[in-house]
Structure 1
């Protein structure tokens, strides 16, 4: 069967799984202030709206935990195919919702799919990509999430403006099934992960996939042979142990990697991106923007998010993971504290905003414009740093036999915090108003120290070299980027091949 081997084409279609996540984020953020939605579902209060929003995260938590158990026997590609089918079912359920309970069931089902794709897309791409551009390739998943956010928001915006009644949100949520169907069809033409094949002793297929991915089909290419050596060594080590369980992720040689992979996903959520994306309309409403003006301002922010991530992806492997994580945490902390200061100093309590009793704090004039500007600055910083790096980093730190379950657990941690924040933020805006930003600012300050002392640099290293990096117990701040051992070994193999060819030629001349 015909297979696609261009890594950028694979990333472009494979990260549709990330686009599904983005679709869900903006599908809800666009509707929480729309009359078509609030009238049909009887104006849900802050607690109920938090539950509706969080239902997707709850499903995603379950899906992420199950992802490793699906991906290990079926393969990375097989797991994504299963997730595509689940997503289509979830879109149909949401589109046909008759009440809040029906809607929540649909969002939970969609969440199951997102939990699988959010963990296994980055694993799949990390195992396909060459080490020198792995961050760029895996980071495309985050960019795809942002495309999904923008596309669904524009679709929802158009429906809000032009369609009356529940047909507005039914059309928007029904359209979500289309990318799921595209991903399902595309996966039939994708190769399986060479590292998953190696774990099943399918060495002929492993060599063929590596050759087509990294050597233009040349099975004797030095880079291909060097990577095949490393994959064989990693597979040999993996086969020495019995089947991996979640408890193995906390073993004496693995727990540091598990801590790094899971915590980077937890911190990504506690950075505060959830506040800016799920409840963006609430923030703009408190700053004096209501109705269509708030929706239009949200579009600007989503475009900014998309552009900044597009800027960082081509250079993410040269900049490194640690500088972006550290810089992003420090900058986010400053922005959160500044936003809280402006809201506390110039804001005042109100009974409701534009008829929404969930919002009890308002800011007007220049201070309101300052809050909007700070929101834009935060999203730009988030798109440059933690949004892509969180997914890249957790896909790199686990060894082969732990990777599917380890990244699944990491994604599950992301969704667990996402679930908590989806519940927390609406009541927080109602009850503690500007103090919500103080909480996120403190989280950002704390994560700076964690990253500095415990996150080694993984940029520019093969997945097998990262294993050695953790085993050596080097101080995290001393693990800078370097030329991959893979390329050094490839050069050695090329020299050996050249020396062999020279010797053969000399023997022929003598004859």
Structure 2
């Protein structure tokens, strides 16, 4: 039995083995994101790393705040630029080849870092180039996953991107912990960076053997290839006219024909687009959610956790960082269940409130009873950090990536996804750049800032985000076009032709199947969806 015939029953519907493999392979992009995020926290306190790239006289070197900020944060500027460029590469070359390009850039950046000898600028530029690749992947992976995966598993597959981010952070923390014994040697940090190259290869090569996005193919008139790709993802390659494939195909086809009639979306349209499908509304919403995902404060701990806990008097800050990484991984699994059973809105609201509470505790305890003077305060602050990360991992971590994959219309999806992801990296850059200065200036009071941003995030989700659970991407577009529908009422919205969001009206679809839209005779009709 070939891959095209391999079918798995999930959530009451057929999902192809290739759809599962697609989810697993592409989520490595999240692993690279997490690995690069987690590695710098431990590396910046390695003896050889400080002696090579720190400032001051030999034997007494340390990082200036501005230099440390630049070394850590310039990667985020690279990812911001990479995210914006991802809109072009994903549309020009297709979703798969764009991901391979992102991996190539990541590898080049890591090679530049490994070859750095004593110049912090050399190291910083290597992180910048690696960031270009990670930024490209952070746009391409959720978009490719959301366009390819059957709706029954779409939420979990896109959320798995965040799961692999947590794995990447944990693995980098484990490796940092493992090379502590040789931290006086350049091999310590070079091993950490070099392993990132090995981890990236399965994504860069493996994605080329997976189906191309049926929506990208259909958008270029390759309807035969789009149908085959959709059948492969349902595990029905040998039966591309199966009713299940046919219904999905017709629904996609009608939407794309309508959108194609008015041409391709522009960057300008993302900000002054048609009011009917709320293009501008969704652009701003996606940017706000992704900016606030970073300003929940998660990378305050993952970028600088080791140095923060070291200054708090913790004997083994890398071990604490490892604990935080483990909590991050373990608590992401419930999020994969919650997103398909509960939806998007309620977990995001509850998560933001929970995170705000624990950050308030973290900041208040740190100021009232400094942990370097009171050992019990350090314990409370570690517990608060763990509880915060547990909530982030179950809600804002994975859910923000699901939202970016589901919210935008096909016409402007690549550009809006790039803008939202760029906002994520802008927030990431601000956190990574400002934290050393905030730590020196206001100390643990920085937690009060994150308390406020989490509260703001809860308010924005309640008043502006629509519930997209169990909807096809084309149905999401229709729902956002319903101007009389309010976000807090959206959970009850059901698309035409459905008894509820999970149950088709058989009579309706039998009638529609009898009046199928003719397939346009596009200029491009390929013979293989994997080409």
Normalised by the length of structure 1, the TM-score is 0.91
Q: 1:294 to 1:273 in 2, by over 3 A?
A: same
Instruction: Output aligned runs, 1:108-507, within 5 Å.
Output: 108-162=128-182, 164-217=184-237, 218-250=239-271, 251=273, 252=275, 253-290=278-315, 293-347=316-370, 362-473=372-483, 474-480=485-491, 485=498, 488-489=503-504, 491-492=506-507
Q: 1:209 to 1:235 in 2, by over 3 A?
A: same
Q: CA RMSD in A?
A: 2.1
Q: Which moved more, 1:485-494 or 1:319-328?
A: 485-494
Q: 1:424 to 1:363 in 2, by over 3 A?
A: farther
* Greater helix content: 1
Match of 1:359 in 2: none
C-alpha contact 2:33 2:134 (8 A) present in aligned 1 = yes
Cα distance in 2 for residues equivalent to 1:223 and 1:403: 25
Instruction: Output aligned runs, 1:15-30, within 5 Å.
Output: 15-30=27-42
Cα distance in 2 for residues equivalent to 1:497 and 1:200: 24
- 3-state SS of 1:441 partner: helix
Cα distance in 2 for residues equivalent to 1:156 and 1:297: 12
Deviation readout 1:7-48 (Å, 9 max, x if unpaired):
221111111111111111111011122212112212212221
Q: Which moved more, 1:166-175 or 1:318-327?
A: 166-175
Instruction: Output aligned runs, 1:87-106, within 5 Å.
Output: 87-98=106-117, 99-106=119-126
Deviation readout 1:85-144 (Å, 9 max, x if unpaired):
111111111111121111111101100001110111000000111112211010000011
Q: 1:320 to 1:347 in 2, by over 3 A?
A: same
TM-aligned CA deviation for residue 386 of structure 1: 0.1
Cα distance in 2 for residues equivalent to 1:104 and 1:33: 16
C-alpha contact 1:452 1:477 (8 A) present in aligned 2 = yes
Cα distance in 2 for residues equivalent to 1:103 and 1:314: 40
- 3-state SS of 1:176 partner: helix
C-alpha contact 1:211 1:219 (8 A) present in aligned 2 = yes
**Contiguous gaps of at least 5 residues in structure 1:** 349-361, 500-511
Deviation readout 1:150-186 (Å, 9 max, x if unpaired):
1122122212223532121112111111122221110
TM-aligned CA deviation for residue 148 of structure 1: 1.0
Q: How many residues align?
A: 484
Cα distance in 2 for residues equivalent to 1:363 and 1:210: 61
C-alpha contact 2:162 2:397 (8 A) present in aligned 1 = yes
TM-aligned CA deviation for residue 236 of structure 1: 1.2
C-alpha contact 2:305 2:321 (8 A) present in aligned 1 = yes
TM-aligned CA deviation for residue 277 of structure 1: 1.1
Cα distance in 2 for residues equivalent to 1:497 and 1:108: 52
**Contiguous gaps of at least 5 residues in structure 2:** 5-15, 55-61, 515-531
